[in-house]
Amino acid sequence: MAAFGRISWTLEMNRILSALSAAVLTSFMLAGASPAAAQAWLSIPANPKVDIAYVPPASQRLEGVYQALKGRQILEELQHFLAPLHLPHRLLLQTRECSQVNAFYSPFDRSLTICYELVGELIRDAPQTVSEDGFITHEAAIVGTLVGVVLHEGGHMMFDMLDVPVFGREEDAADETASFLALQFNKDVERTIIKGFVYFWAKSQDPSASSPMRVWSDEHGTPSQRMYNTLCLAYGGDPQGFKEFVDRGWLPPKRAEHCGAEFAQLKLAFIKTILPFIDRDLMVQVQKTQWLTPEELK
């Protein structure tokens, strides 16, 4: 099972989820339910190989997140978003209670799961209105990160279903998928997803210098590694659009000078291994569609 990798489930979750205000969930739900947003993606056919399911949570404290995702029609939107992809097998997209803060793709039953606990944490960790440095808004932090997570798991799904040769570490490769796909849309969308991803990793903790050797054994990179990889691919793919990352000193010049080549490597991999499974006409339609609401793009 390929998981997103930030398993930080604690007893604190009960308190956190209870504390999620009805207003926050309501605004999240309403943001995607606006008529304009709904009309945009409905013009694209749903991928016939993709099934969806919102599994009701057993825990009452997750009811609000469940209702919010259902109201936001996030799975229906993904069903349409995946329209250009020729899948050799059926895929189940589901949201459910997992007893962990995570999202994952399982090759055993070909399911991609978004856990209510993860969404709850994203809402909790998002800035009240906008982050102190002005980097990201409340809505963009939630939606950008969530889309990034789904694209990451979508990477695992494509590696499995499309029999993609993966030479490097698969978790890094899945992060690359998320960054690459984010950069295939308009500037507003690419910024929201990349910034959401960066925000998520920037506030996570790396192992300390005194950590025991075993903390390095995980198949995922550290939060900082994943943040720098995202910054680098974004800058490599769109140097003008993400020049701010270098100007602000977030992406060190020593790494920045290689980012064009890193993005070129990724693009080659995508073209050779995934693009043949994509319907070009539908892809153009997907690229032109406004998938996020104006509130989420702020």
Partner 1 sequence: MAWLRKCQMSPLDRVVVFLCVIIWSAFGPHDARAQSFVNPAQIHISYDVPTDPKFRPMYDALKRRNVLERLQGFLSPLRLPKELSVRLAQCGAETSPYPPGGPVTICYEMVQRISDITFQNTTDPNDRVLVIDGTFVQMVLHEVALAVFDVLQVPIWGRAEDAADRVSALIMMQFGDELAVTTIIGTAKFFEYSKHEWTGGDFASQGSPEAQRFYNYLCIAYGGDPIAFRFLAPRPGPSAFATLPEHRAARCAGEYHQVRHAFDMRIMPFVDPDAVTKVRASQWLLSDEYPGRSK
Q: Are the C-beta atoms of 65 and 21 separated by less than 8 Å?
A: no
Strand partners, 94: 53, 113
For partner 1, which residue of 36, 209, 240, 281 counts as binding (CB under 8 A)?
A: 209
- Cα–Cα distance for residue pair 127/266, rounded to 1 Å: 32
**Which residue in this structure is represented by tokens 């993709």?**
50
262 counts as binding partner 1 under rule CB under 8 A: yes
254 counts as binding partner 1 under rule CB under 8 A: yes
Smallest gap from residue 145 Cβ to partner 1 (A): 20
- Cα–Cα distance for residue pair 179/270, rounded to 1 Å: 12
251 counts as binding partner 1 under rule CB under 8 A: yes
- Cα–Cα distance for residue pair 108/105, rounded to 1 Å: 9
204 counts as binding partner 1 under rule CB under 8 A: no
For partner 1, which residue of 8, 26, 100, 265 counts as binding (CB under 8 A)?
A: 265
100 counts as binding partner 1 under rule CB under 8 A: no
The site map against partner 1 for 43-82 (x = CB under 8 A) is ----------------------------------------
Q: Are the C-beta atoms of 230 and 175 separated by less than 8 Å?
A: yes
- Cα–Cα distance for residue pair 236/63, rounded to 1 Å: 41
159 counts as binding partner 1 under rule CB under 8 A: yes
Angle, alpha carbons 206-207-209 (nearest 5°): 120
**Pick 142 or 174: Cβ nearer partner 1:** 174
273 counts as binding partner 1 under rule CB under 8 A: yes
Number of residues that bind partner 1 (CB under 8 A): 44
For partner 1, which residue of 269, 282, 286, 297 counts as binding (CB under 8 A)?
A: 269
Q: Which amino acid is at 103?
A: A
Q: Contact region for partner 1 (CB under 8 A) — 53-61, 90-98, 129-137, 228-236?
A: 228-236
3: CB partners within 8 A, 6+ apart: 102, 103, 104
176 counts as binding partner 1 under rule CB under 8 A: yes
- Cα–Cα distance for residue pair 158/43, rounded to 1 Å: 24
- Cα–Cα distance for residue pair 91/174, rounded to 1 Å: 17
Question: Which residues are at the interface with partner 1 (CB under 8 A)?
Answer: 159, 164-170, 172-173, 176-177, 206, 208-209, 213-214, 216-219, 221-222, 224-225, 227-229, 232, 251-252, 254-255, 258, 261-262, 265-266, 268-273
